[in-house]
Amino acid sequence: MADKTLYQKKIRLGDGLLKGSIYAAAALTFTVLLGLMGYLLVRGLPHISWGFLSHTYSETDPQQNGILPMLLNTLYVVGITVLIAGPVGIASAVYLTQYAKQGRFVAIVRFAAEVLSGIPSILFGLFGYTVFCQLLRLGTSLLAGCLTMALCVLPTLIRTTEEALLSVPRLYTQGAMALGAGKLRVILGILLPNAMPGILTALVLTMGRIVGESAALLFTAGMSYGMPRGVFSHAMESGRTLTLHLYQTAREAATPDAMNVAFGTAAVLLILIFLLNRIAWLLGKVLKKGES
Amino acid sequence: MLHKQEAGRQETVKIGMQGVHVYYGAYHALKGVEVAVPEKQVMAWIGPSGCGKSTCLKTINRMNDLVAGTRVTGTVTLDGEDVYDPRTDVTVLRRRAGMVFQKANPFPMSVYENVAYGPKIHGVRRRSQLDGVVEQSLRAAALWEEVKGRLKKPALGLSGGQQQRLCIARALAVQPEVLLMDEPTSALDPVSTLKIEELMHTLRKQYTVILVTHNLQQALRVADQTVFFLSGEVVESGSTKRLFESPRDDRTKRYLSGRFG
Ligand SMILES: Nc1ncnc2c1ncn2[C@@H]1O[C@H](COP(=O)(O)OP(=O)(O)O)[C@@H](O)[C@H]1O
Ligand SMILES: [Mg+2]
């Protein structure tokens, strides 16, 4: 066919349809997501007050409808889980990328991590319950919950840390090796510092994941809403996190304004996760800038 | 160890390579290389890309160890001691034989920290001592005047030529005896290249330098000795003047006249 003009004469029907459906899908997704967040915030925010954040809770006393113990339990689980999973995850990633002979074994470990990061967290909950709560006799406790949570987040944490380690230019490690630096020194002095932005981002995103987790903690950390009495003794006590509180209040509707409590909790969760994502983003930006 | 030179002078051999073969998996990259590097001279290694110059250089400081599936046979000696002896401490070997890479690779740290890194890992802790080494090394790499006011600034902010001289300073800071330089100027502008070539003239007073280069003029300008590599073998070696003026091997003649490579 001999086209006499370069300019398009008509928009082809197929192109138009395709473009239209892509726009429609995007619009639908954004509307649903924004609508969801908007709804949660509209229903939840009015219920958030200083009293809500700083008071205790009771299923029998409607006057006590604060979420302080749940907030503390959530921070507790996040803190302890990261303390357990962080070092283990980083060490495993260093081992897999720097020490393990790249072959069958590493391939199997990677495959396992991939599978584990995809399985429903309730299975981790079941496993944690039988191993930590029963076999190791930790009972329903925050410690059992944290250990279960650590298992739950490790596969993803290892994979993201591995990526951070692999993204460090070989030129740097080579340069250090050529000066006679030993392997451990190169890992501690060059590799880890340079991978730190990626690792920290992974850790913060992991925190977000822990904040949002409920199924793995349901069987293991339990449902107690009592106020924590001490940092160490609390590890052996049962305690419900914000997500479990949301689940429980919405399900039981034990008090007249249970739904308000549930939505208030949901809004707090949303804000926490938003903040964590923001921090991860800022960390990535600030640390990246610092290196050049 | 003494080695008879063409000119009839006797010179100390700093690095010796006898029957060196390197395999990358099944690929035979070096096929029985014989080289004797005289002490405190600059020796240029020339040859077409892919002929094995970098591979050969890396057998000296055992950077090949880092590449999985690499096998080295034959003998490589530093001051007569076998580099591949099981008793060899690779850390000491690499301190004594420093390396400068084709692409300048300063660490993402300050200028000062880059130079101090080597001395620190080899146990220098005192601040005053480190300060001294840093200044001395930067001076030796002809960089001091340009960076003395910005020692705490990130090294990655320096120009390409400065970065490469910083890498030379970093290598000098651990007081090596040998400098292995793998096409150190191939990514640099002519002015920076000239600065580094001038530097070679002073370096040869104290160090044994192997300079891999694809720039024949550079070899002619700075090297006392030249070795011509082709397809994983040494075709010819000798004093630079002799090799360039009257090459004995026909392949050397053809390469020097730019007819292949
Ligand atoms: N890590 C490696 N794995 C496999 N082959 C390699 C590796 N490094 C280099 N080679 C091959 O060995 C030969 C020599 O490479 P090299 O020493 O880099 O040559 P030159 O420095 O002279 O350009 C080339 O054919 C190259 O493809
Ligand atoms: Mg090369």
Are A175 and B167 in contact (CB < 8 Å)?
A: yes
Q: Which domain holds residue B120?
A: 2-256
The structural domain count of chain A equals 2
Q: Are residues A33 and A58 in the same domain?
A: no
Q: Are residues A214 and A203 in the same domain?
A: yes
Determine, yes or no, domain membership for B15. yes
Determine, yes or no, domain membership for B123. yes
Determine, yes or no, domain membership for B156. yes
pLDDT at B2 over 50: no
User: Mind listing the pLDDT tens digit for each residue in B191-224?
Assistant: 889 989 999 999 999 999 999 998 999 999 999 9
pLDDT at A288 over 70: no
Q: Are residues A32 and A129 in the same domain?
A: no
**Rg of chain A taking only CA atoms, in angstroms:** 24
Could you please report the per-residue DSSP string of B2-13? EEE-TTS-EEEE
Alpha carbon dihedral A217, A223, A228, A230, in 10-degree steps, equals -50
Give the list of residues 6+ apart from residue A104 with CB closer than 8 angstroms, or none: none
A162 vs A233, higher pLDDT: A162
Alpha carbon dihedral B234, B178, A176, B155, in 10-degree steps, equals -110
Query: So what's the pLDDT on residue B245?
Result: 94
Distance A132 CA to ligand 2 centre (A): 56
User: Mind listing the pLDDT tens digit for each residue in B229-246?
Assistant: 999 999 999 999 999 999
Alpha-carbon gap, residue B159 to B202, rounded angstroms: 22
Are B66 and A194 in contact (CB < 8 Å)?
A: no
Question: Mean of the pLDDT values across residues B100-108?
Answer: 94
Are B174 and A179 in contact (CB < 8 Å)?
A: yes
Query: So what's the pLDDT on residue B90?
Result: 94
DSSP state of A237: S
Residue of chain B nearest A288, judged by CA positions: B108
Question: Mean of the pLDDT values across residues A28-45?
Answer: 94
For residue A99 the two structure tokens come to 């020490």
Helix (H, G, I), strand (E, B) or coil at A55: coil
B88: CATH: 3.40.50.300
Are B121 and A177 in contact (CB < 8 Å)?
A: no
Query: From the CB of B63, is ligand 1 less than 6 Å away?
Result: no
Q: Are residues A33 and A115 in the same domain?
A: no
Could you please report the per-residue DSSP string of B76-99? EEETTEETTSTT--HHHHHHHEEE
Percent of chain A with pLDDT over 90: 64
Query: So what's the pLDDT on residue B216?
Result: 93
pLDDT at B8 over 50: no
Which of B28, B31, B54, B99, when mutated, tests ligand 1's pocket best, judged by the most ligand atoms within 8 Å of its CB? B54
Q: What's the predicted TM-score (pTM) here? A: 0.83
User: Mind listing the pLDDT tens digit for each residue in B48-97?
Assistant: 999 999 999 999 999 998 888 899 999 999 999 999 999 999 999 999 99
For residue B190 the two structure tokens come to 């002519």
Query: So what's the pLDDT on residue B5?
Result: 46
**Other Cβ atoms closer than 10 A to A170:** 11
Instruction: Categorise residue B227: left if φ over 0, alpha if ψ from -120 to 50, beta otherwise.
Output: beta
Question: Mean of the pLDDT values across residues A111-118?
Answer: 88
Q: Are residues A109 and A39 in the same domain?
A: no
pLDDT at A284 over 80: no
For residue A18 the two structure tokens come to 């395709």
Are A180 and B154 in contact (CB < 8 Å)?
A: no
Query: So what's the pLDDT on residue A9?
Result: 66
Q: Which of A169, A178, A189 minimises the CB distance to B63?
A: A178
Q: Which of A171, A180, A292 minimises the CB distance to B121?
A: A180
Alpha carbon distances (Å) from A276 to A166, A205, A273, B154, B202: 25, 7, 5, 30, 56
For residue B49 the two structure tokens come to 């890309």
pLDDT at A144 over 80: yes
Query: So what's the pLDDT on residue B163?
Result: 96
Distance B84 CA to ligand 1 centre (A): 20
Q: Indicate the pLDDT class of residue A291, thresholds 50, 70 and 90.
A: low
Query: From the CB of B59, is ligand 1 less than 6 Å away?
Result: no
Ligand nearest to the Cα of B182, by number: 2
Are B122 and A174 in contact (CB < 8 Å)?
A: no
Q: Which of B68, B91, B105 minimises the CB distance to A180?
A: B91
Alpha carbon distances (Å) from A83 to A14, A147, A234, A274, B71: 55, 10, 16, 22, 42
Question: Mean of the pLDDT values across residues A252-281?
Answer: 88
Determine, yes or no, domain membership for B261. no
Determine, yes or no, domain membership for B183. yes
Q: Which domain holds residue A40?
A: 2-47
Query: So what's the pLDDT on residue B1?
Result: 44
Question: Mean of the pLDDT values across residues A229-243?
Answer: 89
Name the residue at shortest CA distance from atom 21 of ligand 1: B54
Alpha carbon distances (Å) from B16 to A29, B65, B167: 69, 19, 25
Question: Mean of the pLDDT values across residues A21-30?
Answer: 94
Length of chain B equals 261
Query: From the CB of B54, is ligand 1 less than 6 Å away?
Result: yes
Q: Are residues A187 and A117 in the same domain?
A: yes
Tokens 């601040």 found at: B127
Alpha-carbon gap, residue A286 to B225, rounded angstroms: 50
Task: Share the mean pLDDT of chain A.
Answer: 90
pLDDT at A24 over 90: yes
Q: Indicate the pLDDT class of residue A285, thresholds 50, 70 and 90.
A: confident
Q: Are residues A35 and A126 in the same domain?
A: no
Residue of B57, B78, B91 best to disrupt the A interface, most CBs of A under 10 A: B91
Evaluate whether B40 touches B206 at the Cβ level (below 8 Å).
Answer: yes
Query: From the CB of B58, is ligand 1 less than 6 Å away?
Result: no
User: Mind listing the pLDDT tens digit for each residue in B122-172?
Assistant: 999 999 999 999 999 999 999 999 999 999 999 999 999 999 999 999 999
The structural domain count of chain B equals 1
**Other Cβ atoms closer than 10 A to A231:** 10
Query: So what's the pLDDT on residue B35?
Result: 97
Q: Which of B108, B242, B128 is nearest to A176 (CA)?
A: B108
Q: Are residues A160 and A209 in the same domain?
A: yes
A79: CATH: 1.10.3720.10
pLDDT at A170 over 70: yes
pLDDT at B6 over 90: no
pLDDT at A147 over 70: yes
Ligand nearest to the Cα of B65, by number: 1
Determine, yes or no, domain membership for B199. yes
